[in-house]
């Protein structure tokens, strides 16, 4: 059976500006926001492995 991990993020108050910025970047790249954020995390963590 394939392993699955799930993450639920909530953006509150001033943090919403970061969500909005990420959404604009993802949309301009024609990428769904969850996929875009996942790609950012993968790129960031590859350098640490």
Q: What is the pLDDT of residue 46?
A: 85
* Structural domain that includes position 38: 20-46
What does the alpha-carbon distance between residue 39 and residue 45 come to, in Å, rounded to a whole number? 10
Q: Where are the alpha helices (DSSP H) in 1-49?
A: 16-28, 33-46
Q: What is the pLDDT of residue 26?
A: 97
**For residue 42, is it within any domain?**
yes
Q: What is the pLDDT of residue 48?
A: 63
Q: What is the pLDDT of residue 49?
A: 54
Q: Which residues of the chain have pLDDT under 50?
A: none
**For residue 31, is it within any domain?**
yes
Of the candidates 37, 42, 40, the residue with the CA atom closest to the CA atom of residue 11: 37
Go through the chain and tell me how many residues it has: 49
43 CB-contact burial (10 Å; exposed 0-12 / middle 13-18 / buried 19+): exposed
**For residue 12, is it within any domain?**
no
């Amino acid at each position: 059976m394939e392993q699955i991990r799930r993450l639920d993020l909530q953006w509150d108050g001033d943090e919403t500006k970061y969500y909005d910025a990420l959404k604009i970047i993802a949309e301009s790249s024609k990428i769904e926001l969850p996929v875009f954020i996942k790609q950012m995390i993968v790129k960031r963590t590859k350098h640490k492995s």
